[in-house]
Amino acid sequence: MSSEHKPVVAENISKTFGQVTALQNISFETERGEMFGVIGPDGAGKTTLFRILTTLLVQTSGSAFVDGYDVKGDFRKIRKIIGYMPGRFSLYGDLSVEENLNFFASIFKVNPKDNYYLIKDIFHQLEPFRNRKASALSGGMKQKLALSCALIHKPSVLFLDEPTTGVDPVSRREFWQMLDRLKAIGITIIVSTAYMDEALLCDRIALMKNGILLGVNSPAGMVASYNNRLLAVKGDDMHSILKVLRDIKVVKSAYSFGHEHHAAISPDFGGDAVEKISQELTARGLNDTLVKSIKPSVEDCYMELSAN
Amino acid sequence: MKETTHAIITENLTKKFGDFTAVDNISFDVKRGEIFGFLGANGAGKTTAMKMLCGLLKPTSGMGMVAGYDISKNSEKVKKSIGYMSQRFSLYQDLKVWENFRLFGGIYGLKDNEIASRTDEMLKNLGFYDERETLVQSLPAGWKQKLAFSVAILHKPSIVFLDEPTGGVDPAARRQFWELIYAAAESGITVFVTTHYMDEAEYCDRVSIMSEGKIAALDSPENLKQKFGCTTVEEVFHKLAGGVL
């Protein structure tokens, strides 16, 4: 491993499957110890990108390097220094928790005890089930075991493809606390997610759509570049409020955000947006609504960017 | 009779596997036309409870009525009256869009002309009529999910069970999916849905939170927040299901 190299470098990677272009001229670099998030709708090409960077798929054109090694020519070297957790559960269901860990350690010719410190925070939760078959674990436990197995050889770069899909909020929080500790010891993490509260925890986020990289930005930078005015709207009849909001001319978009709706007001509107929307709602028979001005979240940015 | 106003009634419903109690004496009701969120940590017993309610697993003890039928004695009738969709199993990839509708319509015993007219109606509503001859495998995942949901309610079930229907789905597609859920609920279908997205929990009429086989709380999102002094359902969830944290 060479520390002078960027952990991941992608230069104009494209990938086509027959007529379908899955990736188009993707270029980016990551820093050492960076938590690099990849977000985008289904079919954006996230998994294809992961599979190319982990040497499981060869790009049609362009080049990519992991720790300075070429994904095409040096795939054997790369495989030794990366950890990969694919989107689908990839462990051996018929093997026990402990057997899975030992199996992955033996493939990488390491002693599981040597790197145990890396995984002990998460693996100790699996200790009571060490003899249980992996297939019989709950969703959250399976993901914790998969992460442990991906880490047992102390990889330099960790690729996690939607690691928390189907995982409950409590286990997700634990999972991300674990990632934070790995980052702190210098492991670079490339992680895709459909949860925007997780994207917020990344140093930078890459937004992909239809095989194109729309941009890379920090969560703060992403939020700062949001140029609509944003309102939160609450009331008794949330369903009607949403329909009415979408009908109001100055409202560019309106979406449900948990217990409130967020309405994006186009920057061209010069007046008092809160007053305007309150009036419009009242005029359409929706009384007692609460409208207030709010700061956008990463999810608001996502909704805006993915709509364009 | 409670059976006429409620889509689901359970009393002390219990399932044991050996000496492990997966579902422990749960009693709750779901009203007709309600959107009911069934939350809980991984391993809390949600899937086991759902399997019992769908007539796929016999309870060890206790009682459950779904769509007016006893889940222990009349599981076949339960199966015919419900729709089911999950993130994992949805449609047959190597069948065309209309063939999936045809297959599931046939399984549920709909007549050919009924299937044809319902299929056309649903595909038109989705703005998807032109894709009826497309193989499902070549569709984007967001579309597959919408189609799977439509197939699940093709036979006009009185209740539809959705098991993490939006798992791994991006924020935009999740919101589109919830519009379908609202439309189904407006047409009178009871929706029983599990999710790990706590913003979606806020969209439900009522939610229950399971922890270690028991229902730890059940109420409207608003009341739950008040009761536990939280501003979001997510915080309530962490309080109840958090345990170690």
Under an 8 A CB cutoff, do B232 and A258 touch? yes
Helix (H, G, I), strand (E, B) or coil at B104: helix
Under an 8 A CB cutoff, do B170 and A306 touch? yes
Two structure tokens written together for B161: 């069970």
- For A239, name the nearest residue in chain B, comparing CA atoms only: B182
DSSP bridge pairs for A245: none
Kindly tell me if the per-residue pLDDT of A23 is higher than 70: yes
Helix (H, G, I), strand (E, B) or coil at B208: strand
Share of chain A above pLDDT 70, in %: 99
Scored b (16 or more CB within 10 A) or e, A138-175 reads bbbbbbbbbbbbbbbbbbbbbbbbbbbbbbbbbbbbbb
Q: Which residues on chain A are in Cβ contact (under 8 Å) with B182? A: 239
Q: Which residues on chain B are in Cβ contact (under 8 Å) with A256? A: 175, 178, 199, 203
Q: Which residues on chain A are in Cβ contact (under 8 Å) with B199? A: 256-258
DSSP E strands, chain B: 6-17, 20-31, 35-40, 61-66, 69-70, 82-86, 159-163, 190-194, 206-211, 214-219
Contacts of B186 (CB under 8 A, 6+ apart): none
Q: Shortest Cα distance from A73 to chain B (angstroms)?
A: 32
Tell me: the pLDDT tens digits for A44-62? 999 999 999 999 999 999 9
Q: Strands B82-86 and B159-163, how do they pair?
A: parallel
Under an 8 A CB cutoff, do B42 and A140 touch? yes
Count of residues making up chain A: 308
Q: Shortest Cα distance from A70 to chain B (angstroms)?
A: 31
Under an 8 A CB cutoff, do B168 and A239 touch? no
Output DSSP code: residue B96: B
Output DSSP code: residue B89: S
- For B48, name the nearest residue in chain A, comparing CA atoms only: A138
pLDDT at B1: 58
Q: Which residues on chain A are in Cβ contact (under 8 Å) with B202? A: 258-259
Sign of the Cα pseudo-torsion (B196, B201, B205, B209, in order): positive
Q: How many helices (H) and strands (E) does chain B have?
A: 10, 10
Two structure tokens written together for B92: 């047959």
**pLDDT range class, residue B244, cuts 50, 70, 90:** very low
Q: Which of B40, B203, B221 sits opposite A256 (nearest CB)?
A: B203
pLDDT at A281: 95
**B interface mutation test: which of A191, A236, A259, A305 has the most B CBs within 10 A?**
A259
pLDDT at A185: 93
How far is A254 from B175, CA to CA, in rounded Å? 11
DSSP assignment string, B15-79: EEETTEEEEEEEEEEEETT-EEEEEE-TTSSHHHHHHHHTTSS--SEEEEEETTEETTT-HHHHH
Kindly tell me if the per-residue pLDDT of A199 is higher than 90: yes
Asked if residue B14 lies in contact with residue B59, where contact means CB atoms within 8 angstroms, the answer is: yes
Chain A and chain B share a number of CB contacts under 8 A equal to 102
Q: Which residues on chain A are in Cβ contact (under 8 Å) with B167? A: 165-166
Asked if residue B167 lies in contact with residue A164, where contact means CB atoms within 8 angstroms, the answer is: no
Q: Which residues on chain B are in Cβ contact (under 8 Å) with A41? A: 140, 142, 170, 172-173
Q: Which residues on chain A are in Cβ contact (under 8 Å) with B181? A: none
Q: Shortest Cα distance from A68 to chain B (angstroms)?
A: 32
Scored b (16 or more CB within 10 A) or e, A204-243 reads bbbbbbebbbbebbebeebbeebebbbbbbebeebeebbe
**A221: Cα within 13 Å, side-chain hemisphere:** 10
Tell me: the pLDDT tens digits for A26-38? 999 999 999 999 9
Tell me: the pLDDT tens digits for A102-131? 999 999 999 999 999 989 888 888 889 999
Q: Which residues on chain A are in Cβ contact (under 8 Å) with B164? A: 166
Instruction: Count other C-beta atoms under 10 Å from residue B63's C-beta.
Output: 15
Q: Shortest Cα distance from A200 to chain B (angstroms)?
A: 14
Q: Which of B42, B172, B174 sits opposite A171 (nearest CB)?
A: B42
pLDDT at B2: 67
Q: What is the mean pLDDT of residues A86-91?
A: 85
pLDDT at A121: 84
Q: Strands B69-70 and B61-66, how do they pair?
A: antiparallel
Under an 8 A CB cutoff, do A140 and B43 touch? yes
Output DSSP code: residue B242: -
**A interface mutation test: which of B35, B42, B144, B178 has the most A CBs within 10 A?**
B42
DSSP assignment string, chain A: --TTS-SEEEEEEEEEETTEEEEEEEEEE--TT-EEEEE--TTSSHHHHHHHHTTSS--SEEEEEETTEETTTTHHHHHHHEEEE-SS--S-TTSBHHHHHHHHHHHTT--TTTTHHHHHHHHTTTGGGTTSBGGGS-HHHHHHHHHHHHHTT--SEEEEESTTTT--HHHHHHHHHHHHHHHHTT-EEEEE-S-HHHHTTSSEEEEEETTEEEEEE-HHHHHHT--SEEEEEE-S-HHHHHHHHHHSTTEEEEEEETTEEEEEEPTT--S-HHHHHHHHHHHTT--S-EEEEE---HHHHHHHHHH-
ipTM of this model? 0.86
- For B41, name the nearest residue in chain A, comparing CA atoms only: A168
Write down the residue that tokens 């051996």 correspond to. Answer: A92
Does B224 reach chain A within 8 Å, measured CB to CB?
no
pLDDT at A166: 87
Residue type at A146?
A
Helix (H, G, I), strand (E, B) or coil at B158: coil
Structural domains in chain B? 33-60+81-241 (3.40.50.300)
pTM of the model: 0.90
Tell me: the pLDDT tens digits for B163-212? 999 988 899 999 999 999 999 999 999 999 999 999 999 999 999 999 99
Two structure tokens written together for A19: 């007529």
How far is A164 from A198, CA to CA, in rounded Å? 9
Structural domains in chain A? 8-223 (3.40.50.300), 226-307 (3.30.70.100)
Under an 8 A CB cutoff, do A169 and B238 touch? yes
